[in-house]
Amino acid sequence: MNHPVKIKNALISVYYKDNLAPLIQLLNKFGVTFYSTGGTEAFIRDLGFDVQRVEDLTGYPSILGGRVKTLHPNVFGGILSRRPLEDDKKQLEKYNIPEIDLVIVDLYPFEETVASGASEQDIIEKIDIGGISLIRAAAKNFNDVVIIASKNDYTELEQILAAQDGMTTLEQRRAFAKRAFNISSHYDTAIFNYFNQEDPIQVFKQSEQKAQVLRYGENPHQKGVFFGDLDAMFDKLNGKELSYNNLVDVDAAVAIIDEFEEPTFAILKHTNACGVASRSTIKQAWIDALACDPVSAFGGVLITNGEVDGETAAEINKLFFEVLIAPSYSEEALTILTEKKNRIILRRKEVKLPTQQFKTLLNGVILQDKDNTIEGPEQMKAVTKVEPTATQLQDLFFANKIVKHTKSNTIVLAKDGTLLASGVGQTSRVDALKQAIEKAKSFGFDLNGAVMASDAFFPFPDCVEIAGDNGIAAVLQPGGSIKDQLSIDMANEKGMAMVMTGVRHFKH
């Protein structure tokens, strides 16, 4: 073994005591002396073992309501002393400080306290001082000291000590130190982000403790990992593990469905909606969403905001799809949908989503607020002689929700609460419109009386002219072009209604 160290003395002071007893029993078997505080001291005594109070080691009681217990040279000297150095040994002997070979300590539940909505005073008291210092000291001196900073590592250490007669190797101690520094840095990030909410310092700090290695990234030759807690977001009821591309599509699906309150079904392919319909029932919403583009729907990600019942599941079951997401399913629906073992069935849970989004870019990270704005009929300013009808305003609102979540440049055509077609990701808005018109007609949709939404302004009147020539009756755009009047004039010439919202929805 590489630089084996036999554990003689252990400092144990933990908030969580789950599965700690077997480790304590094993350490006692190896003759380890225990030092502890408060509740952990009582826990060890209740197991029937002797334990030295940290107060006796330091010569000071716990003071300031427990804020100061372990912060003392007699504790940190024993942890930080470098065993090979004669000067360090002499100083420990001079001050009668025992070498501490094992530190088991965790941290007050700061994040949980913040999430609970506790008062600031309670939150501040959950900022650990002694614990974080003990973790850093023991991890720094991993050459001679074992640090266990999480209850998740109790069993592993127990197995190591049982197999190695109470000793650890340098490689093992270094591995535990790496985990400990991960815990301490995550803790500090959580504290900083709490304080940095108002009048923020412009720095970027993120820390995610949970990770899921994916089969691969966007393509098989790329590695992929998801950092986050999918179990908090979904119950996976069937199917294989989510892939990188699945996750990207699921994120887009969740974003678009959250725009709708009425029963709605959306079908996505490569993050863009290829079918959306709002109806009085989920079943009819599914049937009409699929009719938007049944070709692109093949292998897509499906999402709805209502329960999937047996009849709806029977209809969905006719299509090959990758992922289906709903807030609930009937038993009959699950029986039908789980017939094929690979299709992924997710039941969505209520969970608060982040309000910001970021990604790596060039040699750094770019961060922005999520686009949580959506303009309804009350924010739509009519700018033409003809004003939109109440029905057209509702369709424009529907189309605006979709255009917001579609890759730019984009045009969305809609009618009667149904997506007719969209032109997505085009370098020209004219091309986006032509793509949408051609697609709608290829599936037999009548564009007469339909509405059109654009994610950004029209620099020229050509899109309005093409739309009018194809029967589109009302147009939504943010406005803001120096040539807005040309588009308005064209709409008037074609007898169309046009509204401006003042809000652009680019999605790059």
Distance separating alpha carbons of residues 304 and 324, to the nearest angstrom: 8
Q: Answer whether 300's CB lies under 8 Å from 269's CB.
A: yes
Q: At what angle do helices 429-442 and 462-469 cross, to 10 degrees?
A: 10
Distance separating alpha carbons of residues 345 and 396, to the nearest angstrom: 32
H and E: helices and strands count for the chain: 20, 23
Residue 275, both tokens: 């079918």
Q: Which of 140, 151, 236, 434 is catalytic?
A: 140
Q: Which of 89, 270, 434, 441 is catalytic?
A: 270
* Alpha-carbon separation of residue 267 from 249, 312, 319, 324, 364 (angstroms): 10, 15, 12, 9, 33
Distance separating alpha carbons of residues 113 and 382, to the nearest angstrom: 49
3-state secondary structure string, 145-205?
CEEECCHHHHHHHHHHHHHCCCEECHHHHHHHHHHHHHHHHHHHHHHHHHHCCCCCCCCCC
Q: Which residue is associated with the tokens 């020209």? A: 428
Annotation marks residue 140 as catalytic: yes
Judge if the upstream peptide bond of residue 409 is cis by omega within 30 degrees of 0. Answer: yes
Output phi, psi for 103, to 5 deg: -120, 120
Annotation marks residue 507 as catalytic: no
Residue 366 burial (CB count, 10 A):
11
Nearest by Cα to 307 from 325, 288, 279, 326? 326
Distance separating alpha carbons of residues 386 and 255, to the nearest angstrom: 33
Residue 91, both tokens: 């100083």
Q: Answer whether 476's CB lies under 8 Å from 452's CB.
A: yes
Q: Kindly list the catalytic residues.
A: 140, 270
